[in-house]
């Protein structure tokens, strides 16, 4: 797991502790849950953008294949960790179910996109990697837009 993912996980754990500590406070639970969603989205965005950069460098011939493979693989693990952590969070009210749904969807899309880059990269498929990078860029935009909307 990358350093960014570790920091986001720590922020998420702290957010979870705040969520537990504010039990019974109503609005605080919802705000803490929203903050946890933002932390997961931002963590996944950092991991995804790092993977995207490594993939683009390899496609452009400015990076070695082994280096790009390691960075993209770690990015995939980091996005997966962020998604898994957030999916384990309980929405405090039914009104937060839509927030959970859109956040899980955005995280899943990013996870799938990084995985597609890794698979194409592992095959040394430049055209496939280029295509997957386009999907990853779109997933990054979706993560960023959703995080911004929730702030």
What is the CA 128 to chain-centroid distance, rounded? 22
Domain ranges, ordered by start, for the chain? 3-150
Closest CA to 105 of 43, 37, 31: 37
The pLDDT tens digits of the residues spanning 2-53 come to 665 555 555 555 455 444 444 444 567 999 999 999 999 999 999 999 999 9
Greatest Cα pair distance, the chain, in angstroms, is 56
3-150: CATH number: 1.20.120
* C-alpha span between 26 and 19 (Å, rounded): 10
3-state secondary structure of 11: helix
- Is the pTM higher than 0.95? The answer reads no
Worst-scoring range by mean pLDDT, 20-24, 60-64, 81-85?
Answer: 20-24
């Amino acid at each position: 797991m990358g350093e960014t993912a570790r920091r986001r996980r720590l922020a998420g754990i702290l957010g979870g502790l705040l969520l537990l500590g504010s039990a019974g406070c109503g609005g605080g639970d919802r705000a803490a849950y929203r903050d946890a969603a933002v932390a997961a989205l931002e963590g996944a965005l950092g991991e995804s953008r790092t993977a995207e950069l490594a993939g683009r460098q390899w496609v452009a011939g400015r990076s070695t294949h082994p280096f790009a493979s390691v960075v993209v693989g770690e990015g995939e693990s980091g996005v997966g960790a962020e998604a898994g952590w957030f999916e384990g969070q309980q929405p405090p009210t039914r009104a937060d179910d839509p927030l959970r749904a859109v956040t899980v969807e955005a995280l899943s899309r990013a996870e799938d996109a990084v995985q597609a880059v890794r698979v194409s990269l592992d095959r040394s498929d430049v055209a496939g990697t280029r295509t997957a990078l386009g999907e990853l860029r779109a997933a990054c935009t979706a993560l960023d837009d959703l995080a911004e909307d929730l702030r």
